[in-house]
Structure 1
Amino acid sequence: MIIKPQFKSNNYKNGLYLVATPIGNLKDVSFRSLEVLDKSDYILCEDTRVSKNLLDKYQIKSKLISHHKFNEKKNTLKVIEYLKLGKLISLISDAGTPSISDPGSVLINECIKNNINIFSIPGPSAVTTAVAASGFSDKFFFYGFLPEKKNQIDDELKKLSNFNHSLVFFSSSKKVNKIIPAFKKYFNGRKIVLSREISKLYEEYIRRNIDELELFNSELKGELTIVVSEKKEEKASQKLSESDINSIKKMINKLSTKEITDLISYNKNIPKKVVYNFCLKLKNEN
């Protein structure tokens, strides 16, 4: 039996509260989140059936209003009216922080235009949870869901392949096989972690070298949080190639050591010191 937490009497300002909800395990919700939800005049949610599971567990009776990507624009004006009347309204998503790859930005921006208070209540995040468990660099770029069309996926991943930091994506289990070939094309040499069922009974972290990643034979369950490791920087070569040596010999009596060093090192992964020292050696020999 779940006993409803006994909240102290807090005077919350009227406005819109962005309340993070559990991404799986309902015990991950914070006391402050429950308190705000309990004191809300209305709770805007994606799917009332999903949100009702959380609210019923903690015996919260606030009125639910369906608020998703298909009715967000239509709902917004009415919600703004409620907020102007001094109502306390919470916005939640099915899981995690609202407006992050979920509805919310339309309403938030309208609140900003109307000088309505906005408060963000922190909580569970699939992004930071997956990055923390990945073992990759904590400097990361969060992208979210990739586009639907193959050419758009290619365009996005080609641009992202130039980032040196970890990369985080969301994907439905049904579409992960669609994006794996593109991952192998643009992120070769990196590692990947596919996180599924985070904080749930069958929580799993599938770790692979991207070059060895294969299509899944059976459909995975739920949404995936995918983390790609940071780009490995190629170590600078400590040796000059034969063509570089020949080029330097042709220029040694025509250009300064600095000019040759800049020309040879430009767009090549060779330390300037290596080129500079070779030039000095040639000049000394002459």
Structure 2
Amino acid sequence: MTRTNASPADQELLALLNARGLAVSAPQLERWRRVGLLPRHARQALGRGRGSKSVLEPCTVEIADVLARSSGQGKDLRATLLIWYMRAGTPAVHSREPVPEPPFEAVRDALVWALRRSPVQRLIEQARKARDDVDTDTLYADADRLLARMPGPLGHPGRMREALLDDGQDIQPPPRGGQRGLVHLIALVGLTPGEVAAEVFVEAIAGSGLIPGLDREALVAAFEEAERDGTMAHSLHEARQRDAVAEARAVSPERLARAREVTRTLGFCGSIYLMHGMLLPDTPGQQAIRARIDDLGPV
């Protein structure tokens, strides 16, 4: 770890990070400061004309900690900033202090950047620009190429657990129909009404195998009813009018914080099921949590 020309406060900061197993250099600290992510040290007067000295504040340590854990060689700092935002308010790994909130304007800019880079967002925009069958065929071809590079689904955790408990005799690779379902969803949201039959989308979701016990006929019937009473057309019209990038540009701190909390909750629910599928010892408490999640909707 390089400490050349580091101030005493930076030397103290680097030593604390090193004690947490984080290899950070003085140039890295300066790089984070130049882009406004890491605050500069406060100055403390020494009195009687003796000048002042830099003082390391606890929040600076926690910010440097989360930046070190979230960044990497060649990684865009905007991606690092979004990871920091998701960890804000929770204790750092080796500390009881909560991670401070990052600058909100920078977070919002990073969110817009991430959405513009999102392959799914680009496909939705491509679908909205489709004007004929050639454009539609191109959309499906581009979506298939993109999703072929994405990892397939893990399969339902309950079936994973059953297969592992059975010495792995019945472990089968999960179907990739869910990715085809995603293609149809993108087309449904982006293309003009009538281009994607509701039955096709329902069959794609039902065939994914990710929702055990799904009644295909009931779901098809529900879609058909929604088409007859206009609910489907109204919902799709609203979905087509939404501009995720524009919404991100205008999002308020409060709304984004609520979205973060929902994301954390869903992540917790997913981790409970995933660990259950990977043979985490079951308890009545975990069973009660899964039952509550099931009451809220399919995982």
- Shorter-normalised TM-score: what interval? under 0.3
TM-score by length of 2: 0.25
Comparing both chains, which one has the higher relative contact order based on Cα–Cα distances under 8 Å and sequence gaps of 6 or more?
1
**Relative to total residues, which structure has the larger helix share, 1 or 2?**
2
Whose Rg is larger?
A: 1
TM-score by length of 1: 0.26
